[in-house]
Amino acid sequence: MTRGEGACLVCGRPVVYYEKARQMECVMCHKMYESHAGCEEGHYVCDECHGRKGIEVIVEGCRKSTSKNPVFIMQKLMEDPYIYMHGPEHHVMVGAALLTAYHNAGGDVEYETALREVRARGSEYPGGSCGLWGCCGAAVSAGIFMSVITKATPLTGRSWKLSNQMTAKALNAIAGLGGPRCCKRNSFTAAREAAEFVREELKIEMELPEQILCDYSQENQQCLKNHCPYYK
């Protein structure tokens, strides 16, 4: 068992991670799940309940945004209290922010249909997969974005290639910064890599800030601080 820095939504105690999954009852929906995480008091909140309000904030915020900058879009979304320091809502946020910036930059996409698809696919990706599966959800979200805008399926050619390259490029950059995980750091990195990849491969120019600065270091007890490129 290892101790994480995330706080329980029920009691505020630290979340702990188990090497072997346990049967846990979500304290909100009362459904049973196999989980590798719970708080020190034994509370468990499933991914769907944890991310529901945050994902609604993401979708509505993206619909209203006119920005071509996916990092700026995410930074605005992160100001909402339902976007927690860590959590599976980031698996939707990265792809949704990229889709919005891509659309606002002139990318050819049926925005509402694509946004619903990014939400649906990102919501399926489990929390904690960065450590438990070896594939961070922020990188997967960037791959989902690429898959949606290029209409990739398991049977397509170039779009299949681009989608996998996108995930790999984002994941490699995230891994290069080292652990432990930080959903903010990983989201910024995935979005930056995706904007550059889209410019190179699809010739659509999204905007990126000259410097990305994180406002959440004090909320993350395991922040890499000076070893993170976004640390103030």
Summarised one tens digit per residue, pLDDT across range 169-227 is 999 999 999 999 999 999 999 999 999 999 999 999 999 999 999 999 999 988 999 99
The pLDDT assigned to 1 comes to 39
Average pLDDT over residues 37-51: 86
Summarised one tens digit per residue, pLDDT across range 106-115 is 999 999 999 9
Average pLDDT over residues 129-152: 97
Q: Is the pLDDT of residue 5 over 80?
A: no
Q: Is the pLDDT of residue 159 over 50?
A: yes
Q: Which residues is 34 bridged to in the sheet?
A: 23
Q: Is the pLDDT of residue 4 over 60?
A: no
Q: Is-contact 232 224, C-beta < 8 A?
A: no
Q: Give 3-state DSSP helix, strand, coil % of the chain, rounded to 5.
A: 50, 10, 35
Q: Please report the sign of the dihedral spanned by the C-alpha atoms of residue 203, residue 206, residue 211, residue 214.
A: negative
> Cα 166 to chain center, whole Å?
14
Q: Is the pLDDT of residue 23 over 70?
A: yes
